[in-house]
Amino acid sequence: MTAPLIAAEGLVKHFPVRQDVFGRVSAQVQAVAGVSLAIAPNEVLGLAGESGSGKSTIGRLLLRLLDPTDGRISFAGQDVTALHDRGLRPFRRQAQIVFQDPIGSLDPTMTIGAAIAEPLRLQGMANGPELRERVGALLQAVALPAGYYNRHPNELSGGQRQRVVIARALSVDPSFIVADEPVSALDVSIQAQIINLLEEMRTRRGLAMLLISHDIALMEHLCDRIAVLYLGRVMEIGPARDLVRAPRHPYTEALVSAVPEAARAGRRRIILRGDIPNPANPPAGCVFHTRCPYAQPDCSRIVPEMRPVASGHLKACLRDDVP
C-alpha cells in the first residue's frame, strides 16, 4: 500500500457510564479497543460489523468529532490527535462526513443552497456571486436541478436529501470522507443511485473514503479493502473480494454467510449463538470466543494479535484456519 492519507494507531475510546444525578461514573464502556487502520489516497476502506461494534465511533474519532481516550491519528503525515479549535480548521476542510440520516443532518430552517454554502463560508473559500455559482455547480455535480437552491429539506425526497448531504460534504474539496451507512435509511430503489454517485465522486475527485456499513455485498462492490469489527476490535482486514469470498476469521465467516448471495452459492448459513457481549464488561481473551463455533480453551485467556494469512490479509484469531 502507498503512504496512507489517514492512519490510526492503537485507537481507544471509552465512554463513562454515569450512575446517578450527581454524575458519578460507575463504569466505562469500551467502544473502541486498540484499533489500527490506514487508508491510502483514492482508497475505499469498508468497516463492517454488527450494531454496537464501534463502527460509527471509529468514523467520528478519525474526523476528530470525538476525542480518543488513547492512540494516535495522523493525516497526510501530520499528527492531528491533539489539535483543537483553530488548529483543526485546515483538517476539517480535508475531512468530511456523510451521515446515515439525511433529514437529521440538515437544518430544516435552512434552504438547500444555504446548507451547501455554509461550509464554504465558514472556511472562507467563497462569498457573494462566486458562492452561489459554486453551490450551483455542486448541485449539478450530484444531479440536482439548480432550482432546488431555494427549497427546504422537507420538500425533497430521501434520496434527494442524501444528494444534498453529499454535495455539502464535497463543497470544500475534501480528500477524505467518512460515509456512515449512507444508504441504509433510503428506499431500495434509491440506494443504487446514491452508491453510483459515491463511486463516481470517488473516481472523479480521487477521494479516500471510510465506508461504514453492515452490507457486505455493497462493500465487495465499492471497497478496495474491508475491515471487520467486533466489540471495538478488528477481527480481520484484507482485500474486499478475498475477504468476502474466502473469509479467514470465524466472525467474518458468519457475517458473509448471512448475505443472500452466499445462500444462492450454496454456502452454509452460520447462526451465532447468544448476543454481542456488554462492552462495559467485555470477555477476557478473544472478545469473540463466547459466540465462536470453533472456540478453544486458550481463546478465553489469550488476546489474539493481528497476523498475516495472505498478502495484505490479516486476522486476529488463534486458529490457523477456519474449517
Which positions ≥6 away from 110 have C-beta within 8 Å? 118, 152, 153
Structural class in CATH, domain 6-315:
alpha beta
Give, as one character, the DSSP assignment of residue 300. Answer: G
Q: What is the pLDDT of residue 323?
A: 47
Buried b vs exposed e over 21-58: b needs ≥16 C-beta within 10 Å? eeeeeeeebbbbbebebbbbebbbbbbbbbebbbbbbb
pLDDT digits (tens, 9 = 90+) for 46-78: 999 988 899 999 999 999 999 999 999 999 999
Joined together, the cell numbers standing for residue 174 give 475534501
pTM beyond 0.85: the answer is yes
Is the pLDDT score of 301 beyond 80? yes
Judge contact between 233 and 33, C-beta under 8 A. yes
Which positions ≥6 away from 249 have C-beta within 8 Å? 228, 235, 236, 315, 316, 317, 322
Is the pLDDT score of 198 beyond 90? no
pLDDT digits (tens, 9 = 90+) for 224-258: 999 999 999 999 999 999 999 999 999 999 999 88
- Domain boundaries defined on the chain: 6-315
Q: What is the pLDDT of residue 16?
A: 86
Report residue 248: phi and psi, to 5°: -110, -10
Cα–Cα distance, 257 to 253 (Å, whole number): 6
Beta-bridge mates of residue 176: 95, 208
Joined together, the cell numbers standing for residue 239 give 482485500
309 or 264, greater pLDDT: 309
Per-residue pLDDT band for 10 (boundaries 50, 70, 90) equals: very high
